[in-house]
Amino acid sequence: MAKMDAIQMQLLQEVAGLHEIPEGAYNLRANGETAGRQSTANITITPKEAGSGIDIHIKEGTKHESVHIPVVLSESGLKETVYNDFYVGDDADVLIVAGCGIDNCGTQDSEHDGIHRFFVGKHAKIKYVEKHYGSGNGDGKRILNPVTEVYLDEGSTMEMEMVQIKGVDSTERTTIAELKADAKLIVRERLMTHGQQSALSAYKVTLDGDGSSADVVSRSVARDRSYQKLDLCILGNAACSGHTECDSIIMDEGRILAVPSLEANSVDAELVHEAAIGKIAGEQLIKLMTLGLTEAEAEEQIINGFLK
């Protein structure tokens, strides 16, 4: 931790809620280098060759442990692509916290492309939290293009919380999941774009096994002149159930394209999608103003609640 400066600590706080070295297994990456790493008896973190990422092995049956793998970038002009592979043993039950914070005060673009792959064993349960955050006043862009691949074996569950609320100029998020029998995927995505930002978020979830299910919900707010494309797709190849929902608030001159799609290749696949885009209802603002908030305060409360 000695290598981390104040800006990096601030980023770490934003993306991982960490004030200090976390308990359990962790890998901290700062400006393209490892700033700290710890394995535990059940969770082993090993670097890939040439510093291109890490392998995380979680022993079968590991319960109530956590892995933190935050990344911070505070050097302008740094571009990196990192491959992190998680191998989760059968019956494990763990929390994984990832996320990336970029502070760019310079003129060159900073970019972190994290490719995360999860191989989740039978009946394992994973809670995955990923937060992305950008700060800094420079002209250089803060770019994050995460790719997440999830392979869920029989009876396993993965709950994903994906949050990008502030400061990321450009993002292309791709999430792919394949589910075997009785596997379950829950996704809660929260996106807010402002200024001239652009965000593309695509999900492709394939339900291959009988009894598998997916619930993918994206809530987003596009402010100022920002642009979002939300592409949520579920394929049902078995007796499965899938639900996607994208619910967006549009403000100022923001633009949103929502493309929910469903493909059923089995007569027993039950798939539903919902999509809604709209501005904040005038009645909501008026109600909060009658409680004493100004219009701007009312707007903030509504957005904060919506993205909570």
Binding site for another protein (CB under 8 A): 219, 247, 281, 283-284, 286-295, 301-302, 304-308
**At a CB cut-off of 8 Å and minimum separation 6, what does 249 contact?**
220, 221, 222, 277, 278, 279, 280, 302, 303, 306
Closer to another protein at the Cβ: 105 or 307? 307
Closer to another protein at the Cβ: 29 or 219? 219
Cβ 256 vs Cβ 228: under 8 Å? yes
Cβ 46 vs Cβ 69: under 8 Å? no
Shortest Å, Cβ 230 to another protein: 16
Residue 99 to residue 14: CA distance in whole angstroms: 9
Shortest Å, Cβ 180 to another protein: 32
Residue 122 to residue 113: CA distance in whole angstroms: 29
Shortest Å, Cβ 191 to another protein: 14
Shortest Å, Cβ 200 to another protein: 24
Closer to another protein at the Cβ: 6 or 292? 292
| Six token digits for residue 74 | 């505070």
Closer to another protein at the Cβ: 30 or 216? 216
Amino acid letter, 95: L
Angle, helix 295-306 to helix 282-290, in steps of 10 degrees: 120
**At a CB cut-off of 8 Å and minimum separation 6, what does 252 contact?**
223, 224, 225
Closer to another protein at the Cβ: 64 or 292? 292
Shortest Å, Cβ 148 to another protein: 24
